[in-house]
């Protein structure tokens, strides 16, 4: 007899049907993991994202390399050094993750991060990012307009401001064990800023899910404001009537205003904001009003004294 049974194969050796059907995704995932590995990302988090639309809002400026974007970060929850977030955020758990949207709205909601990315079509937006420390990058974000989300919760007439709160978890975020800032990190926008089409809730960059050190799993992006306005690892979005207290403003109101629009004419009290160093370039660049997005946002501030409301 040549036909033999295979006694070494048992039920538990058979690949689960569901897994079998998703075998291509698995290979995709493995490829992304390998790519992430070579880029020095923590392998667990990078997964490709489907993008419906791509918009380049940084002109012909070349995106900053993923290596630089992921190794030079201000994310004080993981330490105050620029390399600290990359070093300390590797094991940060971004799933399961819940975002609560409430306050002055008719339909407060809770979302899991996966609900959000399924509910709102993702798009790529290439934006300039200007840090208050006078350096800048060009980043291909993946996300969706905050306006879409706010529209769904139906803000009331009292919703004049929106606050964003970062996760508060000193066990996972070693920087929160020091009182460098008043945790949790809080940021805020006026409602018309929040619903401006430029304002993005980003869940990834370079076509993949957000690296932990850049604010995974979901962060704000307001490209005409200094980087610190864009709160990272958001768990709570609240609509409210009063202007919220914000972290850097609480830390030093004299240096960090509520608006913090990029403005070459208003210097930081300790350094000039007239020019910036684009990461990866040798010569400084002139800083543009509203970081080059004046056409889209300058009208929001018509009639305001931007020297006072810095």
Partner 1 sequence: MPFANMRDRLIYLAVWFACLGPILWFIFQGFTDDLGANPIEYIIRQLGVWGLRLLMVSLAITPAAKLLRQPRLIRYRRTVGLWAFAYIALHLSTYVGIDHFFNWPEIGKDILKRPYITIGMTAFVLLVPLAVTSTNGMLRRLGPKNWKRLHQLVYVIVPLGVTHYYLLVKKDVRPPVVYGVIVTILLGYRLYAWARQRRERALKAAAKAAA
- Smallest distance from partner 1 to CB 68, Å: 4
Distance CA 69, CA 176 (A): 22
Closer Cβ to partner 1, 111 or 310, answer by number:
310
Spatial contact of 188 and 246, defined as CB atoms under 8 Å apart? yes
Q: Is 283 in the site for partner 1 (CB under 8 A)?
A: yes
Q: Which residues have C-beta within 8 Å of that of residue 261, sequence separation ≥ 6?
A: 224, 225, 226, 290, 297, 301, 306, 310
Q: Is 39 in the site for partner 1 (CB under 8 A)?
A: no
Which of 274, 288, 294, 300 is in the footprint of partner 1 by CB under 8 A?
274
Closer Cβ to partner 1, 38 or 252, answer by number:
252
Distance CA 235, CA 169 (A): 11
Distance CA 246, CA 205 (A): 26
Distance CA 209, CA 190 (A): 28
Closer Cβ to partner 1, 64 or 117, answer by number:
64
Which of 98, 272, 299, 309 is in the footprint of partner 1 by CB under 8 A?
272
- Smallest distance from partner 1 to CB 180, Å: 6
The site map against partner 1 for 188-227 (x = CB under 8 A) is ----------------------------------------
Distance CA 142, CA 124 (A): 4
Per the document, the length of the chain is 310
Which of 30, 245, 251, 304 is in the footprint of partner 1 by CB under 8 A?
251
Q: Is 270 in the site for partner 1 (CB under 8 A)?
A: yes
Neighbours of 34 (CB within 10 A): 12
**At which residue do the structure tokens 């300039």 appear?**
128
Spatial contact of 194 and 104, defined as CB atoms under 8 Å apart? no
Q: Is 133 in the site for partner 1 (CB under 8 A)?
A: yes
Spatial contact of 310 and 269, defined as CB atoms under 8 Å apart? no
Sheet holding 186-190, edge to edge: 109-112, 98-103, 234-240, 161-166, 186-190
Which region, judged by CB under 8 A, interacts with partner 1, from 4-12, 148-156, 161-169, 279-287?
279-287
* Dihedrals phi, psi of 275, to nearest 5 degrees: -135, 170
Site for partner 1 in 135-164 (CB under 8 A): 135
Site for partner 1 in 63-102 (CB under 8 A): 67-68, 71-72, 76, 80, 82-83
Closer Cβ to partner 1, 224 or 228, answer by number:
228
Closer Cβ to partner 1, 117 or 136, answer by number:
136
Q: Is 26 in the site for partner 1 (CB under 8 A)?
A: no
- Smallest distance from partner 1 to CB 138, Å: 13
Closer Cβ to partner 1, 27 or 250, answer by number:
250
Which region, judged by CB under 8 A, interacts with partner 1, from 26-34, 44-52, 273-281, 298-306?
273-281
Q: Strands 275-278 and 285-286: what pairing?
A: antiparallel
Burial state string for 251-260 with b = 16 or more CB within 10 A and e = fewer than 16 = eeeeebbbbb
Residues that bind partner 1 (CB under 8 A): 67-68, 71-72, 76, 80, 82-83, 133, 135, 180-181, 251-252, 267, 270-272, 274-275, 277, 279-280, 282-284
């Amino acid at each position: 007899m040549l036909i033999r049974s295979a006694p070494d194969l048992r039920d538990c050796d058979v690949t689960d049907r569901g897994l079998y059907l998703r075998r291509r995704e698995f290979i995709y995932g493995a490829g992304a993991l390998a790519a992430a590995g070579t880029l020095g990302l923590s392998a667990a988090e990078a997964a490709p994202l489907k993008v419906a639309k791509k918009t380049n809002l940084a002109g012909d400026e070349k995106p900053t390399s993923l290596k630089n974007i992921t190794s030079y970060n201000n994310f004080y929850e993981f330490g105050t050094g620029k390399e600290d977030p990359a070093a300390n955020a590797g094991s940060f758990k971004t799933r399961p993750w819940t975002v609560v949207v409430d306050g002055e709205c008719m339909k407060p909601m809770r979302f899991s991060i996966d609900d959000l990315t399924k509910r709102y079509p993702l798009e790529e937006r290439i934006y300039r990012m200007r840090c208050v420390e006078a350096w800048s990058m060009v980043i291909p974000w993946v996300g969706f307009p905050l306006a879409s989300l706010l529209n769904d919760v139906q803000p009331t007439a009292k919703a004049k401001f929106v606050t964003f709160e970062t996760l508060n978890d000193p066990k996972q975020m070693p920087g929160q064990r020091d009182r460098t800032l008043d945790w949790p990190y809080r940021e805020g926008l006026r409602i018309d800023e929040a619903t401006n089409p430029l304002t993005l809730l980003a869940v990834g960059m370079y076509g993949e899910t957000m690296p932990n050190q850049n604010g995974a799993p979901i962060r704000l992006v307001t490209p005409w404001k200094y980087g610190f306005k864009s709160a990272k690892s958001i768990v709570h979005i609240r609509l409210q009537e009063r202007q919220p207290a914000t972290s850097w403003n609480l830390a030093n109101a004299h240096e960090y205003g509520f608006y913090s629009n990029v403005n070459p004419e208003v210097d930081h009290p300790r350094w000039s904001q007239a020019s910036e160093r684009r990461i990866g370039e040798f010569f400084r660049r002139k800083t543009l009003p509203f970081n080059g997005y004046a056409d889209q946002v300058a009208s929001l501030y018509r009639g305001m004294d931007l020297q006072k409301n810095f």
